Structure 1
Amino acid sequence: MENRDDNFYEANAADVNLEEITSSAKNAKILQQLRDGDPKLHCLILGGLFSNFHVSEDDDLGWLGFFISRSACLHSLNICYLPDGEQQIRNAFSEGIARSQSIRNISIDNLNNDAFTAVMRVLRSLSQLEGLTIWGDNNIDHDGWYELRILLESGGCKLKQLCLSENNYIRNEGLDVLSNGLRGIGSSLKVLTLSDNSISNEGLSTLVEALQTCTSLERLHLSSNDFSSAAAGLSSLSDWLWNAPMNLKNLGIECCSINDDGLHAVVEGAAIHCKELYLDGNGSITSAGLSYLSNAIRSDSCRVETLWLQGIPIGDDGTEVLARGLANNKSVRSMYLGDSVDVSVTSAGWLAFSTALCDTSSVNNTYLSNHTICDIWNEDDEDRPIPPQYISLHLQLNGEHPQYAARCKILMSHPHLIMEPLHQWGLKSLPLAVAWFERAKPCTALTIEDAYSDLRRRILDESDEAFESRELTAMYEFVRGMPMEVMKSRSGLAVAVAYDEKIARIEEENKIALEQRDRKNLELEEEIARLQIENKRLSGIVEAVRKNVGF
């Protein structure tokens, strides 16, 4: 075979007929797009189920490497297969990848060790590389792990995302490589995914040591590993979360066989740093474990906004435990329960949720209820149960009108506001009470989407007149409940007089309205009487005319 290096492809690229040098029309089209700089071709998949380039032992691969090296549009390359054929062609392909200035993301899936090792060597040249994904069992041996370690430790590329998933044979050598490698890319790494790698307690502890350098990490996914006996490792993870200077937003430890002890070990540190916490699929967690989660989200330091709890057998006990944590929480907006809540949740469990959302035992307790959470089901859960309507109402209110949620709930739950508790602060609390009603006035016009139709309905079925009457009654009772204070205070007396005058004015307006109505009724009665007389007179005239004309 003629020497196939970059000079060969450069010399023939302009005039070559792509259909003649490729093994399929599909490959020819891909090469044409690369040569023309087609922006639609930003991702290329070699081999596998979704391949858009057929990989063979022909020269297609060499030409592909050449055109990739010249492309400015290709950003992602997924390598699922490389042939064991002509070494010269494989070298040409590798050299083309190494010269690329546009590839930002590389994904490798189920390569043999030789192919994996070759790709790792090539990636050292891609200083612009931001994402590396290694899927499946790539049969990596010592050479492969060594090349990956060199790539990560060299600092030649500043990876932002590293994903090693479904590598069931990662073993200790792989974890050592990964741990050392993280020290090389820790300052730039934002997303680390290590799902389904059979990591246990020892491996997790090793990993946590390396995470100390990952100061930019925002997402850590450890799902589908075995943490059933990893309380010590989870405890070290929690310590790292608690103490490390970082901004971790997302922690995924779903389907890790975490039990109550494991949740106790990790949840405190997780709640203080993570905005999204994935615990779904850990079916060994009971209400005892959920109590640790409840205490964590009750803390003023809690930052969790989204909780995933599908697959945890919650029941009434768990629901009541979670409700206690939600009662004082100000951060959680979504708690996805999914199939966690089934027929085992009765009215007692729903009542606990309802109380957390709107505690009607007093005005103050209603005010201190949860006005933040607005979702407890993921829309993708087809079999999600339908909560009672009053719970849905409060969730919708929190979601659509968070700034008015507390006031609406107070107005809905307490038709008659008892003002006596305010007397302990004297008349200085009166302007605050007046201002509260002014801020609550827009609640009478708020609407939410009806859960059973496409229409919107008002939250409060209360007219402006009814709201004003409620306000006047409350203020009147407040002032009349402390007459001596009012008499001592000129401003308080003025307020009392103002409300007395306002009440008197309204009563006078009502009196005038009644008098006007009575006057109109009297005028109508007189008009009816006059018409009756006129009708009688006209009837007499008609009768006389009939007699005179002989009818």
Structure 2
Amino acid sequence: MKVTSLLTYRTMEYRDYNYYEENAATINLGEITSSAKNAKILRRLRDGDANLSHLNLDRDREACDNFYIGQGDDLGWLGYFIGRSEHLQHLQICYLPDGEGGHDAFVEGIARSQSIQFIGIDNLSNDAFTAIMRALGSLSQLEELTVWGHNNIGPDGWSELRTLLESGVCKLKTLCLCRNNYIGNEGMGVLSNGLRGIGSSFRKLVLANNSIGNEGLSTLVDALQTCTGLERLELYGNDFSSAVAELDSLSDWLQGDEVNLKHLGLACCRINDEGLQAFTQGAVNHCTELNLRGNDSITATGLSYLSNSIRSDSCCVETLHLEHIPLGDYGLEVLALGLADNKSVKSLYLEDLDNDISVNSAGWLAFSKALCDTSSVNSTYLSNHTICKFRVVGRGGGETTLHLRLHEEHPQYAARCKILMKHPHLDMTPFFEWKLKFLPFVVAWFERSKPCTMMTIYDANSASRRRVVDESDESFESRKLTAMYEFIHGIPLEAMKSHNGLALAAAYDKKIAMIEEENKIALEQRDERYREALEQRDRKIEQLEKEIMMLRGL
């Protein structure tokens, strides 16, 4: 077959699908493409290479994994082989020139695809974007669509996107529209019906940096009523500074019986104290991750609302982002109050507190107290034993992560370990009101705490391991007997009411006396060995002095 020169391609007649179908078996791809790399990619598509599941179209000819659209029939053949591929799942279109040869064939190839599940779009004109949206209307298998903000999309382009979503053909799981300033409040009105068309199949929605305000947020919340399967909602970079009522509506939606949202991203949305108060209750009770990063209008007053919410037993938040919020000393104290009673937060992200001059020792002391309040055994028990990662994000973007290994590796023993480490002497006075009924609980508590003396945790910066509680079996047993002895003798009248109680008190008296006697004997033996060592040293010194005198006499 005679292959037409690249230089004369632009004057050729229109090539439809039938042309590519008739010539696919005999065409020499190396002669009709603009580069050897493009020919190789087309050959892999043609031959059904199962490893070619991702493909990027870009104007960067240097990138090794990009299909560079140059002169010739690259684009037409690419569309044809995309339409026939059974393995291509991820197509990223970062450049698609208007009016180039093969443009229609490329779009038709996308429309014929039975394998593409992800489409990413960037740097397209309005005409190219509109054509792609129309082609996607036949892709029932499409699961994810991402549109970045470097496209020049007009009203008809967004209208075509709405039509695509409303059609119900594509049951998208993920829709990402980022940095598309055209959307705004008006654009949300255009897209709202489309979002309703996706319905329960929806899992992730990203509407970031799209100039959405309070009106757009209100429209969005209405549209989300049918998105019962939505698990992740990212709205970062929009302006909700005056959207208190709309954030309250968002909170109401979150508390619906059929809502399954797990991640709520409201970073850099200019949310203030009133806005935080409006939605925080619904958010913390239904989301496992809450991102409030960069909302620097939030003060300690707003943090108090958040703190009260996370103290609730119904709080579900496991990851909390509060970076680049000016906590201040009082703000950190307020936050610590909520964390002290929280049982869900495992990862906490904060600002670079070392460089925040408004945070001093009082704030850190309150935070430390939330993790381990040593004022009493009961306070230690009621401290936070859940936080496993505490991350401090610096102004330069660097992160310092502190791993609380005890919480991370032995969460079921964390409270007991802290009690054993911070309270060598267990005060039994608070438990006297339970009388002898409490004695079995004392015994059981020590039995359950025994593993703490044998557990180890990984060191944060090495492969070595170390004991959680550095205590010998003898010391632990002595602590146990002493606690029970003090408990019984703290309520002597109750102990003396029965023969069993008296016998029990006597038994513990005897055990403790035996331990004390053994300790006394051990000390005496140690002292005896010490005296013998001193006497032996003195004898050696005396012998040396005699030898020196004899040498001097010579």
TM range (shorter): 0.7 to 0.9
Q: Which residue of 2 aligns with 1:45?
A: 56
1:93 to partner: Cα distance = 1.3
Cα distance in 1 for partners of 2:400, 2:289 equals 24
Q: Does 1:142 align with 2:151?
A: no
Q: How does 1:106-255 map to 2 (within 5 A)?
A: 106-243=119-256, 245-255=258-268
1:134 to partner: Cα distance = 0.9
Q: Which residue of 1 aligns with 2:449?
A: 440
Which of 419, 422, 425 is the matching residue for 1:416?
425
Cα distance in 2 for partners of 1:141, 1:385 equals 40
Which of 47, 51, 70 is the matching residue for 1:36?
47
- Distance verdict in 2 for CA 1:521–1:172, change over 3 Å: closer
Cα distance in 2 for partners of 1:172, 1:507 equals 79
Partner letter of residue 480 of structure 1?
A: H
String of CA shifts for 1:92-127, please: whole Å, max 9, x gaps.
Answer: 112211111110001111311111111111001000
Q: Does 1:79 align with 2:88?
A: no
Report the secondary structure of 1:376's partner residue. strand
Q: Which residue of 2 aligns with 1:12?
A: 23
Q: Does 1:367 align with 2:381?
A: yes
- Distance verdict in 2 for CA 1:372–1:48, change over 3 Å: farther
- Distance verdict in 2 for CA 1:466–1:509, change over 3 Å: closer
Cα distance in 2 for partners of 1:72, 1:495 equals 79
Q: Which residue of 2 aligns with 1:549?
A: none
Q: Does 1:480 align with 2:506?
A: no
Instruction: With the length of structure 1 as denominator, give the TM-score of the two structures.
Output: 0.87
Q: How does 1:373-384 map to 2 (within 5 A)?
A: 373-377=387-391
The answer to whether the 8 A contact 1:309-1:340 is kept is no
- Distance verdict in 2 for CA 1:380–1:492, change over 3 Å: farther
Q: Give structure 1 stretches of 5+ with no counterpart.
A: 529-551
Moved more, 510-519 or 135-144: 510-519
Q: Which residue of 2 aligns with 1:321?
A: 334
Cα distance in 2 for partners of 1:170, 1:519 equals 88
1:6 to partner: Cα distance = 2.5
Q: How does 1:433-512 map to 2 (within 5 A)?
A: 433-450=442-459, 455-489=464-498, 491-493=500-502, 495-506=504-515
The answer to whether the 8 A contact 1:137-1:169 is kept is no
Report the secondary structure of 1:284's partner residue. coil
Q: Which residue of 1 aligns with 2:542?
A: none
Moved more, 497-506 or 104-113: 497-506
Cα distance in 2 for partners of 1:275, 1:142 equals 37
Cα distance in 2 for partners of 1:84, 1:217 equals 36
1:8 to partner: Cα distance = 2.0
Cα distance in 2 for partners of 1:60, 1:386 equals 48
Partner letter of residue 270 of structure 1?
A: A
Cα distance in 1 for partners of 2:459, 2:232 equals 37
1:214 to partner: Cα distance = 0.8
Cα distance in 2 for partners of 1:510, 1:170 equals 79
Cα distance in 2 for partners of 1:340, 1:240 equals 35
The answer to whether the 8 A contact 2:59-2:69 is kept is no
- Distance verdict in 2 for CA 1:520–1:259, change over 3 Å: closer
Moved more, 246-255 or 452-461: 452-461
Moved more, 251-260 or 214-223: 251-260
- Distance verdict in 2 for CA 1:48–1:209, change over 3 Å: farther
Q: Does 1:27 align with 2:41?
A: no
The answer to whether the 8 A contact 2:324-2:351 is kept is yes
Cα distance in 2 for partners of 1:53, 1:149 equals 29
String of CA shifts for 1:367-391, please: whole Å, max 9, x gaps.
Answer: 111111122215898777989xxxx
Instruction: With the length of structure 2 as denominator, give the TM-score of the two structures.
Output: 0.87
Moved more, 325-334 or 404-413: 404-413
Cα distance in 1 for partners of 2:376, 2:174 equals 51
Partner letter of residue 102 of structure 1?
A: S
Q: How does 1:396-415 map to 2 (within 5 A)?
A: 396-415=405-424
1:402 to partner: Cα distance = 1.4
The answer to whether the 8 A contact 1:112-1:139 is kept is yes
Q: Which residue of 1 aligns with 2:72?
A: 58
Cα distance in 2 for partners of 1:370, 1:59 equals 65
Partner letter of residue 341 of structure 2?
A: N
Moved more, 466-475 or 158-167: 466-475
Cα distance in 1 for partners of 2:368, 2:114 equals 57
- Percent of matched pairs sharing the same residue: 67
Cα distance in 1 for partners of 2:424, 2:209 equals 55
1:232 to partner: Cα distance = 1.9
Report the secondary structure of 1:133's partner residue. strand
Cα distance in 2 for partners of 1:144, 1:179 equals 15
- Distance verdict in 2 for CA 1:426–1:37, change over 3 Å: same
- Distance verdict in 2 for CA 1:384–1:439, change over 3 Å: farther
Q: Does 1:293 align with 2:306?
A: yes
Cα distance in 2 for partners of 1:176, 1:3 equals 39
The answer to whether the 8 A contact 1:145-1:177 is kept is yes
Q: Give structure 2 stretches of 5+ with no counterpart.
A: 1-11, 537-554
Q: Which residue of 2 aligns with 1:537?
A: none
Q: Which residue of 2 aligns with 1:357?
A: 371
Cα distance in 2 for partners of 1:452, 1:76 equals 39
Partner letter of residue 70 of structure 1?
A: R
